Each structure stands twice: as structure tokens, then as C-alpha cells.
């Protein structure tokens, strides 16, 4: 059901009224925006000294600033890439373990999944940065971040994979057993490939979550995008402008990824009357 079903196709009078109401709300929204801009201008937040380094290529600080931020963004993408890759591998293994586990140890697998899922990711990141060295494992800050992110996301991916497998029609595994395949071959050669295909959109959406959570590297001072932004702020004293720029870059990247996820979903559902889509964790702001 789309929004347009909620109201009649308007007649001439309703159209006129809607046009008037639209103009009024648009003016109100623009007025609010204007007031915000006015306040920013009054506080000197629109001054060239605050913005020049961010948007003016001829500014002396433009090059160094964006080299600094670009390096941070590269570190962010690197950590996010490792985290999603490791989460995918470990998550798949966890899901298969949970599905094939004998009853006497399945509770342990479920327990690990529930424990990691119920703990905030920032706690897991802090934990891996502080506790691993305390336990005698010296890892670099990036790997501490990657391990924390992986610990949190692998169980989410495990649940996505499990949902993908259980959503497949029963006939798939029955047919595979009927032609004489063993259980591991049924899982690896028949069920997993189909599950991955159905899960692709959910997995891409999870990438958005991982990318956003990588910014928590700032709490352990890993040199990622936000932490580099803070260094820039120390030198340029333009908090609002830098955080705005960081936000815009994050939104551009993540919005593109979300569009790709939606597009993939559309392509995948074109061929078949898609099996029930596993719910994406990205929809909860995890």
C-alpha cells in the first residue's frame, strides 16, 4: 500500500487547498531554515575562516585538511572492510554450527549469539582495545576496532544467514538428500548459495551499519574519519563545520550503499516470487 491510497485523487477545490497548504508549509520550513542560517551568521559560523579550509581549493589549508581527512576515511573503509569480511566468514560458520548442532551443545552456540547481540558494540570495541592487551594479546588499534566490530556483527550476520536458509523451500534440501548428498554437501552446495543470493540486500544494508559503527573507533582513538576530524578541529577551531562535513560524507556513502541494496533487491526479486526476505538489522539502527 502506498501513501497515495490514503487520500482521494483531489478535485479542483482540494487541489487548490492542497496547493495553498503546501505553499504555507514550504514557507514555514524555509522560514525555520532561514532562522537557523540567520543564527549561524549572527554567531559568525558562516565566516570564511571557518569554512575556507573545507570548501575553498585555493585556501592554504584545503589540501592538508582533506589529505588528513582522506587518510582517516581510508582507515575507516579499511577497518569496515575487514570487519564485514570477517563477520561474513565467522557469521556463516556460526549459522551453520547453530543449524547442525546437536541439542547438547546448541544452547552454547545460541548463548554466545545472544550474549554478543545484547551487548552494545561500543562496549565490545572498548573491551577488545582494553581487555585484549590486559590478557597479553597485543593488537594494534585498528585490529582492536575490527575485532570489536566483528564480535558484534558476526552474530547479526549469523542470524541473517540462518533466516536465509530456513526461508528456503523444504523441497530444496529434500531433493538434495534424495539424490544422495550428505548433510554438509546439502548445506554447502544447495542451501548456502541460494541463501546468500536471497540475503544479498540485507548483507549490503549491514555494511551501512558497520560503516557507521566504525566511527566508534574515535572512542579508542583509532585514526579513522571522525578522529581525524577532531584533530582538524583542534587546529582550525571550526567544530560545527567539520562535523557537518563529516556527516555529509557519511550520508553520501551510506545513502549510495542503501540505494545499491534496494537495487539488488529489485533485481533479485524480478526472477522469482522471492522467498520471505530476512529482516535486515539495518532497519533497527543497531
Partner 1 sequence: MQVLIANHGAYLSGIATTLWLCLYSGVLTLVVGTVIAGFRVSPLTPLRAFGTAWVTVFRNCPLVVVLFFMAFALPVLGLNASYFVFGTVGLALYTSAFVCEAIRSGINSVPAGQAEAARSIGLGFTQTLGLVILPQAVRSIIPPLGSVLIAMIKNSAIAGAFGVGGDLYMTGTRLSSAQGEAVVPVLIGVALGYLIITIPAGLLLGYVERKVAIAR
State the Cα–Cα distance between residues 280 and 251, nearest whole angstrom: 19
State the Cα–Cα distance between residues 236 and 201, nearest whole angstrom: 40
Stretch in the footprint of partner 1 (CB under 8 A) among 23-31, 79-87, 90-98, 191-199: 23-31
Spatial contact of 147 and 90, defined as CB atoms under 8 Å apart: no
State in angstroms the smallest separation of the CB of 219 from partner 1. 5
Interface with partner 1 (CB under 8 A), residue from 16, 34, 36, 235: 36
State the Cα–Cα distance between residues 128 and 6, nearest whole angstrom: 50
Residue keyed to cell 547453530: 98
Spatial contact of 79 and 142, defined as CB atoms under 8 Å apart: yes
Residue keyed to cell 575553498: 56
Residue span 132-171 as binding mask against partner 1, x where in contact by CB under 8 A, dash where not: --xx------------------------------------
For the chain, give the number of residues: 286
State the Cα–Cα distance between residues 45 and 16, nearest whole angstrom: 40
Interface with partner 1 (CB under 8 A), residue from 10, 63, 64, 70: 10
State in angstroms the smallest separation of the CB of 283 from partner 1. 6
State in angstroms the smallest separation of the CB of 57 from partner 1. 24
DSSP letter assigned to residue 188: I
Which phi-psi region, left, alpha or beta, contains residue 285 (left: φ > 0; alpha: ψ -120 to 50)? left
Stretch in the footprint of partner 1 (CB under 8 A) among 51-59, 63-71, 112-120, 163-171: 112-120
Work out whether 34 is an interface residue with partner 1 (CB under 8 A).
no
Work out whether 21 is an interface residue with partner 1 (CB under 8 A).
yes
Work out whether 258 is an interface residue with partner 1 (CB under 8 A).
yes
Closest to 156 (Cα-Cα) out of 193, 194, 208, 108: 208
Binding site for partner 1 (CB under 8 A): 1-3, 5-8, 10, 18, 21-22, 25-26, 29, 36, 39-40, 43, 45, 114-115, 118-123, 126-127, 130-131, 134-135, 208, 212-213, 215-216, 218-219, 226, 239-240, 243-244, 246-247, 250-251, 253-255, 258, 279, 283-286
Amino acid at each position: 500500500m502506498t501513501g497515495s491510497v490514503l487520500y482521494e485523487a483531489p478535485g479542483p477545490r482540494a487541489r487548490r487547498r492542497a496547493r495553498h497548504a503546501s505553499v504555507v508549509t514550504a514557507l514555514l520550513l524555509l522560514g525555520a531554515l532561514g532562522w537557523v542560517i540567520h543564527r549561524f551568521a549572527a554567531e559568525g559560523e558562516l565566516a570564511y575562516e571557518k569554512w575556507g579550509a573545507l570548501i575553498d581549493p585555493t585556501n592554504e589549508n584545503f589540501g592538508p585538511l582533506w589529505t588528513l581527512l582522506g587518510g582517516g576515511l581510508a582507515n575507516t573503509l579499511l577497518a569496515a572492510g575487514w570487519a564485514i569480511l570477517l563477520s561474513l566468514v565467522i557469521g556463516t560458520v556460526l549459522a551453520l554450527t547453530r543449524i547442525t548442532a546437536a541439542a547438547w551443545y546448541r544452547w552454547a552456540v545460541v548463548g554466545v549469539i545472544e550474549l554478543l547481540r545484547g551487548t552494545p558494540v561500543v562496549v565490545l570495541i572498548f573491551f577488545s582495545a582494553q581487555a585484549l592487551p590486559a590478557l597479553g594479546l597485543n593488537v594494534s588499534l585498528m585490529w582492536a576496532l575490527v575485532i570489536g566490530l566483528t564480535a558484534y556483527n558476526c552474530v547479526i550476520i549469523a542470524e541473517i544467514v540462518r533466516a536465509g536458509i530456513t526461508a528456503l523451500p523444504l523441497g530444496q534440501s529434500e531433493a538434495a538428500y534424495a539424490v544422495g548428498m550428505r548433510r554438509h554437501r546439502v548445506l554447502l552446495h544447495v542451501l548456502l548459495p541460494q541463501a546468500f543470493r536471497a540475503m544479498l540486500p540485507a548483507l549490503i544494508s549491514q555494511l551501512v551499519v558497520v560503516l557507521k559503527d566504525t566511527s566508534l573507533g574515535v572512542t579508542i582513538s583509532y585514526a579513522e574519519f571522525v578522529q581525524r576530524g577532531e584533530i582538524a578541529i583542534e587546529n582550525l577551531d571550526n567544530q560545527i563545520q567539520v562535523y557537518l562535513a563529516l556527516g555529509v560524507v557519511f550520508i553520501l556513502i551510506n545513502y549510495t550503499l542503501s540505494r545499491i541494496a534496494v537495487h539488488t533487491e529489485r533485481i533479485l526479486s524480478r526472477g522469482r516470487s522471492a522467498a520471505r526476505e530476512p529482516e535486515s538489522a539495518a532497519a533497527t539502527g543497531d
